[in-house]
């Protein structure tokens, strides 16, 4: 295995295992399995109370939004936890390729995000008796994976913020909340003010959710190809911004000697 590939795969895997203390289910089950179900139920019942949309609308919107949770938190914590365990300086003084270092850490996160989204979708559909045609399962799985990739791109930006801000969990929560409001998760985009809709269309999730809803309503994969491609492209743009910001803030932190003090 080449050196950058080793940093990419093994470094990413080791970092991921350390990230959420995976060996204990006390964190995994409440955070990734219980919370999405209750968010789906909360908004599905608000939707029923407001007579707005069908349960399917909320199951898809909230399940996909939950793919962003591990993507945002893991990418921010990857730096915050290194600082906490006093290994951030060592990590960033190593000659390892930054691209391999940070993208390697994002690979398990993408898988995690996709699994959380898929679980939320299946569990929400079963609990609320939402029927989706079997032919839509595979395309929906693809949409969930693309959405997780896209959210991880945004997560890289959030991770970069972790180089400047100590409370990275707070910034992750805030970005998660913004996605909830702006991406058409629970409110149809045309019901939002136009400026919010414009911002939402530049964020990950929005096009993924739209594609998933169309697939659940019977559209074919080819019909939503444009939406999926847009979702992937938006994720790529955010990832490039994230990597650039990470590099810039790393250089800044070295120059100002603020790596540990921020």
Partner 1 sequence: MRTARLLVVGWVLQLKTMMRSAFNGALSVVWPLFFATTAFFMYRAGRDEHTLLYASLGASVMGIWSATSTSASSVLQRERRHGTLELLAGAPTNFAFVLLPISIAMSTVGLYSMVATLLWGRLVFGIDMHLVHPLLFVLAIPVTIASVGALGFLLSVAYARYRSAWALGNSLEYPVWLICGFLVPLALLPSWVGPISWLLAPTFGVRAIREAALGGAPLDDLLACASLGIAYFAVGILLAETVLRMARKTAALQLS
The site for partner 1 (CB under 8 A) is made up of 21, 24, 26-27, 30-31, 34-35, 38-39, 41-43, 45-52, 165, 167, 170, 173-174, 177-178, 180-181, 185-188, 191-192
Nearer to partner 1, 37 or 100 (CB): 37
Least distance to partner 1, CB of residue 71, Å:
17
Considering the complex, state which of residue 48 and residue 201 has its C-beta at the smaller distance from partner 1: 48
Residue placing its CB nearer to partner 1 in the complex, 26 or 95: 26
Cα–Cα distances (Å) from 7 to 10, 75, 102, in that order, read 6, 16, 9
Q: Give the integer Cα–Cα distance in Å for 48 and 61.
A: 15
CB of 73 to partner 1, least distance (A): 12
* Among 179, 159, 168, CA closest to 234: 179
CA distance 139 to 217: 12
Give the residue with the Cβ less far from partner 1, 46 or 236. 46
Instruction: Pick the closer one to partner 1 by CB: 104 or 117.
Output: 117
Nearer to partner 1 by C-beta: 152 or 168?
168
Token pair belonging to 55:
């349960």
Shortest distance, position 72 Cβ to partner 1, whole Å: 14
Within the chain, where are the H helices?
A: 3-6, 12-19, 25-28, 35-50, 55-84, 88-93, 98-128, 137-161, 168-182, 194-201, 206-216, 225-256
- Residue 205: what are its φ and ψ, rounded to 5°? 90, -50
| Smallest distance, partner 1 to C-beta of residue 113, A | 18
Min dist. Cβ of residue 37 to partner 1 (A): 9
Residues 6+ apart with CB under 8 A from 51: none
Q: What token pair was written down for 262?
A: 């921020």
Question: C-beta of 123: minimal distance to partner 1 in Å?
Answer: 14
DSSP 51: T
Q: Are 76 and 155 in contact (CB under 8 A)?
A: yes
Of residues 41 and 88, the one with the C-beta less far from partner 1: 41
Torsions phi, psi for 218 (to 5 deg): 110, 0
- CB 176, min distance to partner 1, A: 8
């Amino acid at each position: 295995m080449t050196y950058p590939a080793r940093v990419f795969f093994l470094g990413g895997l080791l970092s991921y295992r350390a990230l959420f203390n995976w060996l204990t289910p006390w964190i995994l089950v409440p955070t990734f399995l219980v919370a999405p179900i209750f968010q789906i139920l909360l908004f599905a019942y608000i939707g029923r109370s407001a007579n707005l949309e069908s349960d399917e609308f909320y199951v898809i919107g909230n399940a996909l939004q939950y793919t962003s949770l591990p993507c945002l938190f893991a990418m921010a914590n990857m730096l915050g936890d290194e600082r906490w365990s006093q290994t951030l300086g060592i990590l960033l003084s190593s000659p390892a390729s930054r691209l391999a270092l940070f993208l390697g850490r994002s690979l398990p996160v993408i898988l995690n995000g996709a699994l959380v989204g898929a679980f939320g979708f299946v569990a929400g559909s079963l609990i609320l008796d939402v029927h989706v045609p079997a032919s839509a399962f595979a395309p929906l799985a693809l949409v969930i994976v693309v959405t997780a990739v896209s959210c991880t791109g945004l997560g890289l930006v959030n991770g970069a913020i972790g180089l400047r801000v100590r409370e990275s969990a707070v910034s992750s929560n805030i970005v998660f909340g913004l996605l909830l409001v702006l991406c058409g998760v629970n409110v149809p985009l045309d019901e939002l003010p136009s400026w919010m809709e414009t911002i939402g269309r530049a964020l990950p999730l929005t096009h993924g959710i739209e594609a998933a809803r169309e697939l659940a309503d019977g559209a074919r994969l080819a019909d939503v190809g444009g939406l999926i491609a847009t979702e992937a492209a938006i994720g790529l743009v955010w990832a490039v911004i994230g990597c650039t910001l990470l590099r810039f803030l790393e250089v800044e932190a070295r120059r100002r000697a603020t790596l540990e003090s921020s």
